[in-house]
Structure 1
Amino acid sequence: MGNELRGSNLARAMLERGDKQVWCAIDDESDEQAMIAHDGNDFTAYIVSFKNGSFYCTGGMPWLCAVPIKISEVMQNETIC
């Protein structure tokens, strides 16, 4: 694994370098929990800042954990697991 940034550490680094909105899976327990589907609901948000130990989304809500994610269009020939 080395020194590769992941999870909330990566989200903080992206904001520090000037990224304006970072699409993230969010949770208040852990990065691992953020990546788990919560009863069929997707807990994702655009994260716009990190201050006082919390990540803040475009709606102004604070979150303790924010894991950057990618969202891409599914094409007809792709299989979804």
Structure 2
Amino acid sequence: MDNKLKGSDLTRAMLERGDDKVLCAVNNDSDEHAITNIDNADYSFLKYIVSFNNSYFLCKDATHWKHAVPVEKVEVTQQEVGF
């Protein structure tokens, strides 16, 4: 059995430990749909989540979401693109 936190559960745990904001892929259907939006380059579903209350994640612009999967933004290096 896999007891590692992931997806929305991980975001809740990060907020509980005191993180001020967590960059997440968000969706109201499921964690999987949140990631699919990002995989399809729909970055309008990337939001900074600032709290979790009453079964909803709240982002900085006060929008509520049922699912929020933490993601990272990283700079691409010259070596990674093959130059």
Give TM-score, length-normalised by structure 2.
0.88
Structure 1 ranges of 4+ moved more than 3 A: none
**Cα offset for 1:2?**
2.0
Comparing 68-77 with 37-46, greater Cα deviation is found at 37-46
**Cα offset for 1:41?**
1.8
Identity across matched positions, percent: 48
Alignment RMSD: 1.4
Aligned mates of 2:26, 2:78 — CA distance in 1: 29
Alignment of 1:1-81 (within 5 A): 2-37=2-37, 40-42=41-43, 43-79=45-81
Distance 1:36 1:62, change over 3 A: same
Aligned mates of 2:41, 2:18 — CA distance in 1: 32
Structure 2 unaligned runs (5+)?
none
The residue type equivalent to 1:13 in the other structure is A
Structure that is richer in helix per residue: 2
Aligned mates of 2:63, 2:36 — CA distance in 1: 20
Aligned mates of 1:62, 1:41 — CA distance in 2: 18
Give TM-score, length-normalised by structure 1.
0.90
Q: Deviations over 1:6-32 (max 9, x none)?
A: 000000000001000000000000000
Number of residues of Structure 1 aligned to a counterpart in Structure 2: 79
Aligned mates of 2:75, 2:41 — CA distance in 1: 19
Structure 1 unaligned runs (5+)?
none
